[in-house]
Amino acid sequence: MAKIIVQMLVESVKMELPDVKTVRLQWPEGYESEFKTGQFITLYWPHKPKYKRAYSLSSCALDRGHFEVTVKRDGKMGTSIVDWIEAGDSLFVIPPTGRFLPVFDPPGKHLICVAGGSGVTPFRGFAREATERNLSTRITILYTVRTPADIIFAEEFRELAARNPRVKFHVTCTRLAPENLWDGRRGRITPDWVKSFVDDPAETVFYACGTNAMVEAVEHLVMQDLGLPKEQMKTEKWG
Ligand SMILES: Cc1cc2nc3c(=O)[nH]c(=O)nc-3n(C[C@H](O)[C@H](O)[C@H](O)COP(=O)(O)OP(=O)(O)OC[C@H]3O[C@@H](n4cnc5c(N)ncnc54)[C@H](O)[C@@H]3O)c2cc1C
């Protein structure tokens, strides 16, 4: 199907957290999309056609009939979507594009996916597709949030990890009060922490998604500290 811009009905919405919402956009009749997991769509409101913003798909290529995006209340577009959008509304959708794609072929790669805050959204698609297809690809998600209350898809990632032993989900919290009972890791993502997950550098592909600063720090770690080539590092910078 041609890459045309279409108006899509909001089929449903789900508050993942008090400031994060998943929006399911229904494909109109006859619409087909040969998109890939990890790509993003660009959205705009019918009454604001000049204001367009990109959103990574949090659904995966196996999900047909709709796109899902997961949006944080941030800035104009993020706030308008989280605070206002509801089932029955509609948005214009510029079709999926992007090269932030999981390497599932050849099989057996280890994808180390580093995310900050809402930057975890495309990795939901990675883990879902690999699990549904029972792929031999290993997916390790290293996720930095301020507190456990900021973890998006906490339940879903834990379920995927329980179903698929090749999916691992590790969280580090950066702003916890000392008395907080969180028994997971604390502190920022460090080179040593990331390196501790690398067992076979040649078969590892790194992904980083989130703020420019976080993504650039991971790029530096992979290319300078680990000395891996650019081809083994994929980035999605959100600004
Ligand atoms: C490829 C790609 C994929 C993306 N995927 C997602 C996704 O899956 N989920 C998601 O939530 N976002 C995603 N984003 C970000 C998204 O496109 C929007 O940028 C985001 O929702 C903020 O909306 P906005 O650009 O209208 O914000 P703007 O209003 O343009 O603001 C941009 C930033 O500036 C800050 N800001 C605005 N005004 C001020 C001020 N006066 N003082 C200080 N700071 C200010 C805002 O908090 C915000 O962080 C993605 C971006 C890209 C490029």
C-alpha 53 – ligand 1 centre gap (Å): 8
* Cβ of 55 less than 6 Å from ligand 1: yes
Q: What is the pLDDT of residue 213?
A: 93
Is residue 105 in a domain? no
The per-residue pLDDT for 74 is 96
Asked whether residue 203 is assigned to any structural domain, the reply reads yes
Give the domain CATH number at 81.
2.40.30.10
Per-residue pLDDT, 36: 98
Q: What is the pLDDT of residue 41?
A: 98
**Separation of alpha carbons 174 and 56, rounded Å:** 24
22/126 same-domain check = no
Distance CA(44)–CA(167), nearest Å, equals 34
Structural domain of 163: 110-237
Q: Tell me how far the alpha carbon of residue 3 lies from the centroid of ligand 1, in angstroms.
A: 25
Query: Per the domain annotation, does 1 fall within a domain?
Result: no
What does the pLDDT look like over 105-160, one tens digit per residue? 999 999 999 999 999 999 999 999 999 999 999 999 999 999 999 999 999 999 99
CA gap 85, 44 in Å, rounded: 12
Query: How far is ligand 1, taken at its centre, from the CA of residue 22, in Å?
Result: 16
Whether residues 152 and 86 fall in one domain: no
59 lines ligand 1 (CB under 6 A): no
Distance (angstroms) between ligand 1 centre and the Cα of 146 equals 18
Q: Do 197 and 117 share a structural domain? A: yes
Check residue 233 and give its pLDDT: 97
Which residues of the chain register pLDDT less than 70?
1-2
Split into its structural domains, the chain has a count of 2
Is residue 73, in this structure, part of any structural domain at all? yes
| Predicted local distance difference test score (pLDDT) of residue 2 | 52
> Which string of DSSP letters, residue by residue, matches 43-99?
EE-TT-TT--EEEEBSS-TT--SEEEEEEES-HHHHHHHHHH--TT-EEEEEEEE-S
Clarify whether residues 88 and 118 are in a common domain. Answer: no
Are residues 51 and 93 located together in one domain of the fold? Answer: yes
Residue at 115: amino acid letter = A
Answer yes or no: do 193 and 150 share one domain. yes
157 within domain boundaries: yes
| CATH code of the domain in which 218 resides | 3.40.50.80
Q: Please indicate, yes or no, if residue 66 is contained in any of the structural domains.
A: yes
